[in-house]
């Protein structure tokens, strides 16, 4: 009975989210042409068809999974698609981002379904921890390989193989979350025991701190060599958060923050591109027509939006360079106002809440750490980019999950979503098995 209620609730929420997406698409079109677009039928069929396929996959392959994650992700994805179409069509030379993004959504949903199909038990991934770990580090550092890595907009986080370009770091984050969770399940008791002190701070045996220092070193390499502050912060935050959850010792939070702060200060003192990012963050008005242009225009966009926004397709977010990727949150803030921006923020908070609820419900340590890590990834990544757009943090090159344009991020986040649903389904099935056993 509970299984049917969850799936029917999920379906109802998906239909509601689809109606919101289609309504937003209509409003954006009416603001420009004052007529219903001729392609509204195919658009509705594609959006509804893809989300229905994802829902049917969950109903068949993970029937006991959480019923809120997929509808929230679909709503964010749909809203992002509407803004991508609106921003691209307003350009003097559109790049057909609508067609490209719809293709990436289809691939992302396909990856979501395949993940549910082939990973029937998340615990099976624990057996391949070292293979997954080395693959994750390899993908993370792949952009540094000569002839393969590509520098775009100052960050060397892209890989080009023939006509295909992608961000390997988006997939590396999932692999590293699996590796960290598996490693910490095995070492959590050793890491929780203090064998010596560093001043007032109790620490475990130094030989068990190797992965902590390795994670710190890799994050610094990403920050310095790839010029990617966002991914550097994201990966180190992932490891420190999992270390804290595994050992239940706040000492690791303090040590992790101190290590990252020390590395960031060193990088700021030695590398000009890090200094430039920080200087723009502190005072974008020192160069408002060049380096600080995006931040300044973003501030103007939020100001123009006010509380309720200018209305879809009635603002001017196209003034912001790369608004469909790094600054799509500013475009939403201008045309949907504080209300729309807060709704997006609330959607991410609901995803984080659902992810943490899944982590708390499972009694399997590996699943708990992995669910926590995946939730930390999507929560921290969302915070980093939104905080950068409103100048709470230095601007980084990460994308807003499910919302920004880009295939790598979209596919990786749909895989992440499928893993969370698989953990939720496994937990619910174990609970049902125990209840049936108790009745017998």
Query: Per-residue pLDDT averaged across 142-168, rounded?
Result: 74
Write out the two tokens for 360. 């708390």
What's the alpha-carbon Rg for the chain, to the nearest Å?
22
Of how many residues is the chain composed? 440
Q: Count Cα atoms within 13 angstroms, Cβ side, for 383.
A: 12
For 200-267, the DSSP string reads TEEE--GGGGHHHHHHHHHHHHHHHHS--HHHHHHHHHHHHHHHHHHH--THHHHHHHHHHHHHHHHH
Closest by Cα among 16, 105, 130 to 53: 105
Residue 338 is classified by DSSP as: H
Q: pLDDT tens for residues 414-434?
A: 999 999 999 999 998 888 878
32-73 pLDDT tens trace: 665 555 566 676 777 788 889 999 999 999 999 998 999 999
Q: Supply the pLDDT for residue 204.
A: 64
pLDDT at 154: 62
Is residue 94's pLDDT more than 90? Answer: no
Place of tokens 């991914």: 231
Pairing of strands 164-166, 155-161: antiparallel
Mean pLDDT of the chain: 84
Contact 178, 132 (CB under 8 A): yes
Q: Does residue 262 or residue 189 have the better pLDDT?
A: 262
Q: What residues contact residue 435 under an 8 Å CB cut-off, 6+ apart?
A: none
- 60 Cβ contact list (under 8 Å, min separation 6): none
Residue 31 has pLDDT above 70, yes or no: no
Site of tokens 């594609």: 46
Helix/strand/coil for 65: coil
271-320: pLDDT as tens digits: 676 777 788 888 888 888 877 888 999 999 999 999 999 988 888 888 88
CB-CB neighbours of 83 under 10 Å: 25
Q: Give 265-301 as a DSSP string.
A: HHHHHH-HHHHHHHHHHH-GGGSTTTTTHHHHHHHHH
pTM for this prediction:
0.91
């Amino acid at each position: 009975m509970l299984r049917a209620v969850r799936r029917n609730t999920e379906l109802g929420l998906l239909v509601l989210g689809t109606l919101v997406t289609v309504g937003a698409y209509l409003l954006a079109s009416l603001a420009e042409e004052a007529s219903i677009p001729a392609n509204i039928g195919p658009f509705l069929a594609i959006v509804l068809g893809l989300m229905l396929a994802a829902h049917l996959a969950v109903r068949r392959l993970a029937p006991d999974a959480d019923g809120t994650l997929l509808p929230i992700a679909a709503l964010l994805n749909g809203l992002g698609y509407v803004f991508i179409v609106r921003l691209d069509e307003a350009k003097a030379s559109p790049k057909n981002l609508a067609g490209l993004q719809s293709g990436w959504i289809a691939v992302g949903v396909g990856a979501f379904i395949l993940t549910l199909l082939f990973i029937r038990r998340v615990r099976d991934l624990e057996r391949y921890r070292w293979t997954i770990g080395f693959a994750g580090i390899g993908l993370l550092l792949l952009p540094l390989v000569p002839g393969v890595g590509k520098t775009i907009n100052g960050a060397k986080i892209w890989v080009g193989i023939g006509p295909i370009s992608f961000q390997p770091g988006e997939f590396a984050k999932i692999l590293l979350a699996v590796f960290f969770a598996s490693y910490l399940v095995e070492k959590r008791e050793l890491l929780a025991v203090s064998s010596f002190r560093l001043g007032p701070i109790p620490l475990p045996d130094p030989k068990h701190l190797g992965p902590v220092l390795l994670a710190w070193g890799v994050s610094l390499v990403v920050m310095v060599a790839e010029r990617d502050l966002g991914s550097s912060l994201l990966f180190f935050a992932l490891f420190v958060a999992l270390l804290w959850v595994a050992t239940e010792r706040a000492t690791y939070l303090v040590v992790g923050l101190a290590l990252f702060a020390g590395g960031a200060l060193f990088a700021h003192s030695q590398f000009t591109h890090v200094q430039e990012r920080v200087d723009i963050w502190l005072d974008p008005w020192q160069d408002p027509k060049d380096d600080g242009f995006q931040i300044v225009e973003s501030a103007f966009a939020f100001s123009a939006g006010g509380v309720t926004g200018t209305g879809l397709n009635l603002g001017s977010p196209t003034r912001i360079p790369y608004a469909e990727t790094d600054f799509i949150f500013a475009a939403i803030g201008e045309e949907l106002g504080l209300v729309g921006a807060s709704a997006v923020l609330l959607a991410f908070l609901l995803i984080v809440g659902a992810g943490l609820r899944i982590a708390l419900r499972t009694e399997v340590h590996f699943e708990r750490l992995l669910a926590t890590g995946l939730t930390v990834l999507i929560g921290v990544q969302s915070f980093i980019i939104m905080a950068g757009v409103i100048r709470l943090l230095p601007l980084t090159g990460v994308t807003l999950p499910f919302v920004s344009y880009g295939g790598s991020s979209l596919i990786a986040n749909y895989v992440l979503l499928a893993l969370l649903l698989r953990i939720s389904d496994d937990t619910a099935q174990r609970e049902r098995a125990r209840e049936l056993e108790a009745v017998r």
